[in-house]
């Protein structure tokens, strides 16, 4: 067990911070609530970006960039929007040596300024749909910051689309929810439930919000991505209107959807253990570390290091150019060198000692299971690729099983209350619910904080509401959440 990491069973929150520090993922910044995303985490983010970006482009979206600063008056045009975001805004009051006539807010999200631009770009139905995404950072002042989960600035993507019909915009909202679920499963090895949010959990200004909800290893929920159907609310506020085929003028229908560096927090809390970070191979910046080991400097220089470099080159080529490195920390003991890669979440260690070199073998060690095997050095690239696939699948399977094992049906308000009593988080409760916004609040009170995470999209069962007793209620997932 790692001495620099508090066991998660002892103090989960401290474990999370220790894993981040040991893996050199992020530091607290000298700016309130902000973080520095260090190269090991930024490399994960680049792989996350690349997977989502490809999926966005395959579904017809292009990227663009809108200003960081938003005139304060724009925020005020949509009543619910400004009410939701006002407490979190950072405000620029001076620029270029002068006080500004109208302050700018640093974007907390870009519906308003993008809505303003769309109103200039859209005149006719031929100008629709607009399918644009933006990668950027946003600022929402946080009173209780936590690395990756809640920081005053975070990196994200925000998709913003405008359509001629309600049906098309609704279909887009669900299409992107599906894209999120698929990429989270295939690349991040997260097993999420996705579905509609309850009224109390909607985005300020949205007609409807959908989300992906993952279960962390402490059995709490984490909202991993959201997709909003904005109706005509922002189109009306910013006058995105168009002339239809029939000549009549109407407001456009818009959507927005986003995922953020929060996903790195989700990856950490889903896969990691008491030795430190565990990364799914598809998002790991270093997928395999080749470690030549000898106390004989001449042998290292003549035999082991050249062989390690050659192998790392072949591995990198098989990964598409990057992702394999040679460990040259010869001043450390072998155990410490291994531990360095374990703590950084590197999926595979490839050890090359003197005896292995003499036999033409390497020892390949899995981060997820610790399993070791001897592989002929020539066969290593193919075997490493296969093992990375197995690790990716294993992590997803484990995450899925954990979520299923810790999801329980409850059929009354009393059972729901019992489920969440006690200090340990028990997991997700599935219950039929058709109550009001006040009923949601009451459940939050009596359970010590459980909320409706979503109403699963692929669950068509209907039943008796645990609060009102009425029939035909949809299933909802209740959980305590980050």
By CB under 8 A, name the binding residues for a second copy.
27, 29-32, 34-39, 42-43, 45-46, 57, 62-71, 74, 86-97, 103-104, 106, 113, 116-117, 120, 126, 132, 136-137, 139, 141-143, 152-153, 155, 285, 322, 331
Q: How far is the CB of 81 from a second copy (least distance, A)?
A: 16
**Complex with a second copy: residue 2 or 36, whichever CB lies closer:** 36
**C-alpha–C-alpha distance, residues 40 and 52, integer Å:** 19
Q: How far is the CB of 264 from a second copy (least distance, A)?
A: 11
**C-alpha–C-alpha distance, residues 477 and 34, integer Å:** 31
Q: How far is the CB of 58 from a second copy (least distance, A)?
A: 9
What b/e readout covers 195-224, taking b as 16+ CB neighbours within 10 angstroms?
bbbbeebbbbbbbbbbbbbbbbbbbbbbbb
**Complex with a second copy: residue 213 or 325, whichever CB lies closer:** 325
Q: How far is the CB of 117 from a second copy (least distance, A)?
A: 6
Q: How far is the CB of 161 from a second copy (least distance, A)?
A: 13
Tokens representing residue 133 in the block: 């995404």
3-state secondary structure of 109: coil
**C-alpha–C-alpha distance, residues 416 and 40, integer Å:** 41
Longest distance between any two alpha carbons in the chain, whole Å: 83
Q: How far is the CB of 425 from a second copy (least distance, A)?
A: 29
**Complex with a second copy: residue 24 or 186, whichever CB lies closer:** 24
**Complex with a second copy: residue 155 or 269, whichever CB lies closer:** 155
Query: Residue for token digits 């531990």?
Result: 339
Within 8 A by CB and 6+ apart from 158, the residues are: 109, 110, 133, 134, 136, 138, 256, 257, 258
**Complex with a second copy: residue 134 or 447, whichever CB lies closer:** 134
Q: How far is the CB of 375 from a second copy (least distance, A)?
A: 28
Q: How far is the CB of 135 from a second copy (least distance, A)?
A: 9
What are residue 155's DSSP bridge partners? 137
**Complex with a second copy: residue 90 or 481, whichever CB lies closer:** 90
**C-alpha–C-alpha distance, residues 178 and 227, integer Å:** 10
What are residue 193's DSSP bridge partners? 213
How many residues would you count in the chain? Answer: 482
Query: Residue for token digits 């960081």?
Result: 68
**Complex with a second copy: residue 69 or 174, whichever CB lies closer:** 69
CA distances from 433 to 113, 220, 412, 458 (A): 37, 20, 10, 16
**Complex with a second copy: residue 24 or 415, whichever CB lies closer:** 24
**Complex with a second copy: residue 12 or 148, whichever CB lies closer:** 148
Within 8 A by CB and 6+ apart from 410, the residues are: 416, 419, 429, 430, 431, 466, 478
Q: How far is the CB of 273 from a second copy (least distance, A)?
A: 25
Sign, Cα dihedral of 59, 257, 475, 170: negative
**C-alpha–C-alpha distance, residues 294 and 308, integer Å:** 12
DSSP character at residue 197: P
Q: How far is the CB of 92 from a second copy (least distance, A)?
A: 5
CB 27 within 8 A of CB 35: yes
CB 436 within 8 A of CB 472: no
Q: How far is the CB of 377 from a second copy (least distance, A)?
A: 25
**Complex with a second copy: residue 9 or 58, whichever CB lies closer:** 58
- Give φ, ψ of 376 to 5 degrees: -60, 140
**Complex with a second copy: residue 212 or 263, whichever CB lies closer:** 263
**C-alpha–C-alpha distance, residues 355 and 177, integer Å:** 52
3-state secondary structure of 106: strand
């Amino acid at each position: 067990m790692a001495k620099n990491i508090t066991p998660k069973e002892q103090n989960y929150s401290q474990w999370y911070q220790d894993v981040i520090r040991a893996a050199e993922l992020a530091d607290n910044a000298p700016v309130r609530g902000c973080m520095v995303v260090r190269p090991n985490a930024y490399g994960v983010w680049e792989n996350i970006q690349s997977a989502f970006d490809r999926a966005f482009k395959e579904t017809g979206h292009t990227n663009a960039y809108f200003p960081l600063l938003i005139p304060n008056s724009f925020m005020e045009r949509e009543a619910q929007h400004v009410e939701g975001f006002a407490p979190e805004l950072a405000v620029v009051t001076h620029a270029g040596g002068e006080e500004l006539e109208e302050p700018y807010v640093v974007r907390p999200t870009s519906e308003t300024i993008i809505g303003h631009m769309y109103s200039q770009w859209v005149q006719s139905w031929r100008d629709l749909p607009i399918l644009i995404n933006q990668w950027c950072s946003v600022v929402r002042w946080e009173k209780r910051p936590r690395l990756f989960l809640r920081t005053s600035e975070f990196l994200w993507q925000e998709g913003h689309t405008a359509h001629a019909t309600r049906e098309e915009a609704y279909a887009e909202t669900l299409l992107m929810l599906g894209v999120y679920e698929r990429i989270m499963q295939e690349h991040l090895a997260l097993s999420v439930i996705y579905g509609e949010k309850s009224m109390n959990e909607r985005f300020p200004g949205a007609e409807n919000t959908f989300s992906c909800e993952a279960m962390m290893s402490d059995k709490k929920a984490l909202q991993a991505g959201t997709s909003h159907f904005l109706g005509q609310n922002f189109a009306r506020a910013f006058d995105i209107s168009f002339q239809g085929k029939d000549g009549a003028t109407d407001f456009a229908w818009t959507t927005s959807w986003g995922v953020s560096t929060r996903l790195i927090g989700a990856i950490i809390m889903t896969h990691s253990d008491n030795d430190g970070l565990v990364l799914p191979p598809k998002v790991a910046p270093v997928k395999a570390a080749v470690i030549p080991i000898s106390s004989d400097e001449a042998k290292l220089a003549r035999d082991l290091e050249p062989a390690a470099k050659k192998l790392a080159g072949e591995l990198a080529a098989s990964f598409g150019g990057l992702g394999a490195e040679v460990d040259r920390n010869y001043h450390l003991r072998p155990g410490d060198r291994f531990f360095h890669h374990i703590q950084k979440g590197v999926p595979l260690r490839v050890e090359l000692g003197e005896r292995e070199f003499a036999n033409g073998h390497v020892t390949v060690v899995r981060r997820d299971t610790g399993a070791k095997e001897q592989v002929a050095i020539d066969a290593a690239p193919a075997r490493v690729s296969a093992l990375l696939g197995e690790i990716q699948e294993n992590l997803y399977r484990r995450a899925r099983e954990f979520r299923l094992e810790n999801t329980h049906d409850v059929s009354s308000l009393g059972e729901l209350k019992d489920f969440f009593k006690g200090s340990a988080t028990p997991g997700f409760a599935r219950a039929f619910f058709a109550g009001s916004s006040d009923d949601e609040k009451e459940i939050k009170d009596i359970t010590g904080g459980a909320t409706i995470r979503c109403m699963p999209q692929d669950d068509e069962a209907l039943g008796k509401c645990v609060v009102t007793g009425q029939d035909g209620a949809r299933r909802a997932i209740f959980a305590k959440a980050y």
